Amino acid sequence: NITTANDAETRFKLWKGRKAAFAAAGKISPNYFVQDGVIPRTQLVYVLQEIKALSEKYGYKIANVFHAGDGNLHPLILYDNKVEGAWEEVEELGGEILKLCVRVGGSLSGEHGIGIDKNCYMPAMFNEIDLETMGYVRDCFNPKGLANPGKLFPTPRSCGEAANAKIQGFAGVDVF
């Protein structure tokens, strides 16, 4: 069933439920990992079915919170960080969801941008020339590499290495 907000009261109730979703997930699981991908709205049913299949494959429950009107997905992968290896599995599962978003014509991020955790998936969406061009544009505005060093376009450019990349500090500035 689809509920449409045709009046202020119904709109309020829908938003109240949406805003409570993250807190509700926190009550049913000690930890959750949230992703932020976007897909064409026409792919919503298919993507939710695929997320369910990934949930079953990896053995983690996923609470799907999303903006149906614009295709912005926030799947919350529920897990317990006390379980050895859970974080690594959840991170891999989150990556599979992002790659799914790209495969159906969507994007790695709907609202929150590409950071350290998503930069290794950029080649799923952009070719090497695109990435190189983006790096050149960034360098035009940040020629000394002082703004967010190591983020978005890390050097070296592989996912595992970027996470362990050493960032040089600057005189009088702590980098942590």
pLDDT in tens, 145-175: 888 776 766 444 433 333 333 344 444 544 4
Structural domain spans, the chain: 1-113, 114-166
Q: What is the CATH number of domain 1-113?
A: 3.30.70.2740
Average pLDDT of the chain to the nearest whole number: 84
Instruction: Indicate if the alpha-carbon torsion angle 134, 122, 104, 55 is positive or negative.
Output: negative
pLDDT digits 0-9 by tens, 53-77: 999 999 999 999 888 888 999 999 9
Residue 103: per-residue pLDDT: 98
Residue 42 clears pLDDT 70, i.e. is over it: yes
Q: CA-to-CA distance for 176 and 168, rounded, in angstroms?
A: 10
Quote the pLDDT of residue 155: 46
Residue 51 and residue 78 in contact, taking contact as beta carbons nearer than 8 Å: no
pLDDT at 159 (0 to 100): 38
pLDDT at position 168, please? 42
pLDDT reported for residue 117: 81
pLDDT at res. 15: 84
Maximal CA-CA distance, the chain: 60
> Does 46 score more than 90 pLDDT?
yes
